[in-house]
Structure 1
Amino acid sequence: MSSMWWFWVILLIWTLFPVWQQYWINSQRIRVIRQMERQRGTRVITLIHRQETIRFLGIPLRNYISVEDSEQLLRAIRLTPDSMPIDLILHTPGGLVLASEQIARALNHHPAKVTVFVPHYAMSGGTMIALAADEIVIDENAVLGPIDPQIGQYPAASLIEVVAQKPIEKVKDNTLVLVDIARKALKQVETFLTELLKDKMDLAKAQELAHVLSSGLWTHDYPITIEKLKGFDLPIQVGLPREVYTLMELYPQPSQRRPSVQYIPMPYESSGDTNGRS
């Protein structure tokens, strides 16, 4: 066979391999989801964002909770019988308030039990969605985050604080417009969180927690650990099913020229012996 023939064969394989690889990964994801659904008798939905680019103290720039996500997730909820529980596997840096509120509201209205699984983190809008669940099942090292709204590249609470410390005549008109929007955004998010939480705790606690999460008490990327979450009287359970970790491995980060994390991918015995065994 000619070298040109081999060239075209190799080119065809090189072209089709990514397609086959994506098909294989998708089929493995479906297999794990089906296995988890059979074991738990639920509909399993995933909201997993990879390749995150996050502006410090700002809004994620890509692969965040979008309107497209809310459309697909709301459709999955509509296709679920009222008597069937929902398991949502959540891994996200956050995203649009509109989309996050739509998802949270739909989950909150589902008659059967809703469980949210957090294997690594669910920040900002992801935390809002988690609060809509009847139970939050979380890895011992996973975190949630504050839900304070961001106005452009600035935290709403910080805009209000700046104006409070500066004479009004020295503040530009466009800044005053942003501050007005910031006040409305803070009030809207706090009101929504109160409505979301009041069925899970008494009204006073719901209002207090809604204010803590939305008022800008912490920076937008502040990690709220399980110790703090338990102090909020939320329905928290620590420890995820094995299938959740298996599923997360099927959402790999994009390949890099040099891996930033490397390890031997196998469990070791507690003795620390890493020698091979026959």
Structure 2
Amino acid sequence: MDLIGLLWIFFIISSLQPVIRQKMLENGRLRLLERLEQQRQSRVIVLIHRQETLSLLGFPLVRYIDIDDSEAVLRAIKMTDKDVPIDLVLHTPGGLVLAAEQIASALRKHPAKVTVFVPHYAMSGGTLIALAADEIVMDENAVLGPVDPQLGQQPAASILKVLERKPISEIDDETLIMADIAEKAIRQVKATVIELLADRIGAEKAEHIATMLATGVWTHDYPISVREARELGLPVSTDMPSLVYQLMGLYPQTAQRRPSVEYIPLPRSRESERRRAER
């Protein structure tokens, strides 16, 4: 075989390698989902947004909660009997409010127990979805986030502050229009949070949580820890199944030439150190 033929074979193998790797990942995910469903006797749904290299040239695809996600989750819920619990593994920076509200509403209407697992973070719309759960299971270091609306690049609550701090005569028409939209957006999101929580924790506690999360008390990227979530009154536990961590490992970030974090991927304990010293 000549050199040109070898180069063609090398090119074909190189082009198929990402596809084969992706298929292996997908099969591994399905097997692990089946194991988790058998262990929990539930319907397991995964909503994980990470960067994955999907194309031949290796360009990463950044994902957020969108209408496609809400359609897929709603289909999964409809395919689940009313007496079957639902477990949702959630890892997301947030996304479209409409899609997050649809998912949260559908989960809240499910008669059986709904559990949301947050192994790392569920911000913004992800937190809104978590509020629909009967139980939120978080890693001890995982975080949630405020659900206050954002209008473009501006927090709705901050736009309203302009009306408080400047005379109307000094505010342009566009800002006044944005302030009107901001007021409506906050009122709508706050009402959604109250609706998700009131029947479980009472109207007064639901009102308090909605005010804290939806009205700009914190910045939009503020990390709400397990302790703070419990202090708010959310049903949070830290009993995270080990299979959830294994599942997260099958949703890798985009490969980089130099990893940002490196460590020896083995359990580390005093006992292992003693055994190494004896060798």
**Under a length normalisation based on structure 1, what TM-score does the superposition of the two structures give?**
0.93
CA contact (8 A) 2:95 2:124 kept: yes
Higher helix share: 2
In the alignment, does 2:236 pair up with 1:245?
no
Deviations 1:217-248 (A, max 9, x none): 00000000011111122211113111100010
- Please name the residue that 2:181 is paired with: 181
Query: 1:158 — aligned with what?
Result: 158
- Give the letter for the 2:80 counterpart: T
Matched with 1:21 is 21
CA deviations on 1:85-112 (whole Å, 9 max, x unpaired) are 1000000001111011000000000011
Aligned ranges 1:210-225 → 2 under 5 Å: 210-225=210-225
Shift of 1:43: 0.7
Residues 30-82 of structure 1: per-residue CA shift (max 9 Å, x gap): 01000000111111100000139xxxxxxxx9511111110111011011111
**What is the aligned partner in structure 1 of residue 256 from structure 2?**
256
- CA distance in structure 2 between the partners assigned to 1:164 and 1:201 by the alignment: 33
**Residues 93 and 121, structure 1, Cα contact 8 Å, conserved in 2:** yes
In the alignment, what sits opposite 1:50? 50
Residue 192, structure 1, aligned to residue 192, structure 2: yes
Q: CA deviation at 1:257?
A: 2.2
SS at match of 1:219: coil
> Whole-Å Cα distance in 1 between the matches of residues 112 and 252 of structure 2?
32
Aligned to 2:58: none
Contact in 2 for aligned 1:87/1:115 (Cα 8 Å): yes
Aligned residue pairs, count: 270
1:229 aligned counterpart, secondary structure: helix
Counterpart of 2:46 in structure 1: which amino acid?
A: T
SS at match of 1:199: helix
Q: Check conservation: 1:45, 1:86, Cα contact below 8 A.
A: yes
Q: Is the 8 A contact 1:140 1:239 kept in 2?
A: no
Q: What secondary structure is seen at the aligned counterpart in 2 of 1:45?
A: strand
Give the RMSD, CA atoms, in angstroms. Answer: 1.7
Match of 1:56 in 2: none
Q: How many angstroms apart in 1 are the aligned matches of 2:81 and 2:46?
A: 18
* C-alpha deviation, 1:164, in angstroms: 1.1
Letter aligned with residue 238 of structure 1: T
Match of 2:148 in 1: 148
State the match for 1:57 in structure 2.
Answer: none
The one-letter code sitting in structure 1 at the alignment partner of 2:207 is Q
Q: Which amino acid aligns with 1:166?
A: K
Task: Tell me what 1:70 maps to.
Answer: 70
1:270 paired to 2:270: yes
Instruction: Report the Cα distance in structure 2 between the residues aligned to 1:166 and 1:23, rounded to whole angstroms.
Output: 58
The 1:152–1:25 alpha-carbon spacing in structure 2 relative to 1, beyond 3 Å, is same
The 1:44–1:156 alpha-carbon spacing in structure 2 relative to 1, beyond 3 Å, is same
Q: TM-score, normalised by structure 2?
A: 0.93
Aligned pairs for 1:4-153 (under 5 A) are: 4-51=4-51, 62-153=62-153
Distance 1:235 1:254, change over 3 A: same
Structure 2 SS opposite 1:117: strand
Which residue number in structure 2 is paired with residue 229 of structure 1?
229
Letter in 2 for 1:261: V
Q: Tell me, yes or no, if the aligned pair for 1:148 and 1:186 is still in contact at 8 Å.
A: yes
Unaligned runs of 5+ in 1: 53-60
Distance 1:277 1:195, change over 3 A: farther
Question: Which residue identity lines up with residue 6 of structure 2 in the other structure?
Answer: W
Instruction: Check conservation: 2:49, 2:62, Cα contact below 8 A.
Output: no
